[in-house]
Amino acid sequence: MTQARWVAQRLKHDRPEIPVDIIAIKTKGDIMQDVSLAKIGGKGLFVKEIEDALLRGEIDIAVHSMKDVPVELPEGLEIGIMSEREDPRDVLISKDGRRIEDMPQGARIGTGSLRRTIQLRYLIPGVEVIPLRGNLDTRIRKIRTDNLDGIIVAAAGMKRMGWSRRITQVIPVDMMLPSVGQGVLGIELRENDIETRNAVSPINHPQTWLEVTAERTFLKRLGGGCQLPVASYGKKNDNDLTLTGLLGSLDGRTLIRDEVRGPSGSAEALGVLLAERILSSGGEDILKEVYKTHSF
């Protein structure tokens, strides 16, 4: 709702003549808080009911965290707008002020993300990763109720809630690579709804669009699953785009990380190139093992 309110405020500012109403829709991902995302179908469950309402014409736009949006969308829908990216990094909220590098062997760290899990297993020997679901407040509370040493969440969510003071450590991207689209809001709409697209177009941020397009193309080439042990981060500088990607084994023992750079207008080509390089460096074997272990 915080994200939807932000978009509504922007629309009221940019197009005050257009009435704006917020419709709250609970998704299966919101309701089933006690089951891991991998077991119930991945992050796409945070958007399905909303997309159904969009296709039925009950709503005109849907506001999503881009990290939750599958690379394959229902026929007739598209992500038409991406907001300027907020902080894409992950953050640690710890029980006693310890940073990642100071965590003891066997530390209990909470996260609901397979991407964070594999990187934690690589960073902290013997780490015990505790599955974590629920809203931010619920997850933070579990540090105390579940006796956790800390939890990993997205920086953007903490900042949107005004909770930056509760952050112990902002984790650098060279230590923990973000999720595809992390820190970005996407606006989904019907492909043929030109009037609505024009109304929300001032929110679009071209640089972010290019960066996330490269990230999502990378993910799509690897198989497209939101719950794959994959991370990617694109950064545009002047006319160049640098794209970093990672694919890891489930035990965290193997992380394949690579980087490509090229013209920012070649975002999709860079995404494919990076995926091909990682696949040829052992990624094919990792993906086979992942699909053998998990059913997505």
Report pLDDT for 296.
47
Percent of the chain with pLDDT over 90: 79
Q: What is the pTM for the complete model shown?
A: 0.89
CATH second-level architecture of 206-296? Answer: 2-Layer Sandwich (3.30)
Where in the chain are the domains? 1-84+183-204, 90-171, 206-296
Report pLDDT for 28.
60
Report pLDDT for 295.
53
CA distance 266 to 274: 12
What number of residues does the chain have? 296
Report pLDDT for 45.
62
CA distance 189 to 60: 6
Over residues 259-276, the mean pLDDT reads 98
Report pLDDT for 133.
82
Q: What's the pLDDT tens digit per position in 49-87?
A: 999 999 999 999 999 999 989 999 999 999 999 999 999
Run of H or E including 257? strand 255-263
Q: What's the pLDDT tens digit per position in 222-253?
A: 987 656 899 999 999 999 999 999 999 988 88
The phi and psi torsions of 48 (rounded to 5 degrees) equal -60, -50
Tokens of 129: 């990763």
Which stretch of 20-24, 43-47, 165-169, 197-201 has the lowest confidence by average pLDDT?
43-47
Count of CB atoms situated within 10 Å of the CB of 272 = 16
One-letter identity of residue 263: P
Report pLDDT for 265.
95
Q: What's the pLDDT tens digit per position in 81-119?
A: 999 999 999 999 999 999 999 999 899 999 989 999 999
Q: Alpha helices, DSSP H only, in the chain?
A: 2-14, 28-31, 37-40, 48-55, 114-123, 136-145, 155-160, 194-200, 206-222, 267-278, 284-293
The phi and psi torsions of 158 (rounded to 5 degrees) equal -65, -40
The third-level CATH classification (topology) of the domain covering 1-84+183-204 is D-Maltodextrin-Binding Protein; domain 2 (3.40.190)
Residues marked active site are found at: 68
Cα angle: 143, vertex 149, 150; to 5 degrees: 65
Please give the C-alpha separations between residue 16 and each of 5, 6, 7, 10, 12, in angstroms, as whole numbers.
15, 15, 13, 9, 5
Domains 1-84+183-204 and 206-296 share a fold: no
Tell which residue, 242, 218, 211, 226, has the closest CA to residue 88: 211
CA distance 296 to 40: 8
Q: Say which residue the tokens 């820190």 belong to.
A: 183
Decide if pLDDT at 123 tops 60: yes
CA distance 234 to 264: 10
Q: What's the pLDDT tens digit per position in 135-148?
A: 899 999 999 999 99
Q: What's the pLDDT tens digit per position in 166-201?
A: 999 999 999 999 999 999 999 999 999 999 999 999
CATH second-level architecture of 90-171? Answer: 3-Layer(aba) Sandwich (3.40)
Please give the C-alpha separations between residue 31 and each of 34, 45, 133, 153, 170, in angstroms, as whole numbers.
9, 10, 11, 19, 29
